[in-house]
Amino acid sequence: MARKNLSNLGIDSVQRYGAYDIKMEDKLPIGKLAKLTGVGVETIRFYHRQKILELPPQKSNIRYYNSDAVEKIEFIKRAQSVGFSLAEIKDLLKLRLTPSSECTPIKTKTQKKIQEVELKISELKKILSVLKKFESKCDGHEPSSHCSILDGLKELKRG
């Protein structure tokens, strides 16, 4: 990973502050990691509890993260953005850390995720159809005691 500009992290690189020679990959306290990756500190702590992100050793009562933590959190966010759950991401990270493993399990997980997304889309289309039907029967001027939308919801069968 290319070295990041320390000024983007809110670290003044002026020599008198002792930050002139800091390597970003060795000196990210949790707050800086959170800011850099766009997640909250509590999210990072949650990742620790879920064993998705390793807890770094303490140095002088502060835990410093390296660039691997940045990359891992960015990977988690990207995987979540396409619908993978944290449990699935945990599995993907394990496979990612085993470069000699085959891509087959990853492809299988992706195919399963595609099926889940297609099912959700189908369900959402059904919901949309019902809502449009309800909305079309309502002129918006009737009293709520005779509202066709509320009546439709009352009569709607579950499942």
Delimit the domains of the chain by residue range: 1-101, 103-159
Kindly report the average pLDDT of the chain as a whole number: 84
Query: CATH says 1-101 is which class?
Result: mainly alpha
Q: What angle do CA 65, 70, 76 make, to 5 degrees?
A: 125
Whether the pLDDT of residue 46 is over 70: the answer is yes
Q: Which is higher by pLDDT, 120 or 6? A: 120
Q: φ and ψ at 148, to 5 degrees? A: -65, -30
Q: Amino acid letter at 76?
A: I
Q: Look at residue 44 in the predicted model and tell me its pLDDT.
A: 97
Cα separation, 6 vs 41, in Å, equals 19
Average pLDDT over residues 12-33: 59
Cα separation, 50 vs 46, in Å, equals 6
Whether the pLDDT of residue 95 is over 60: the answer is yes
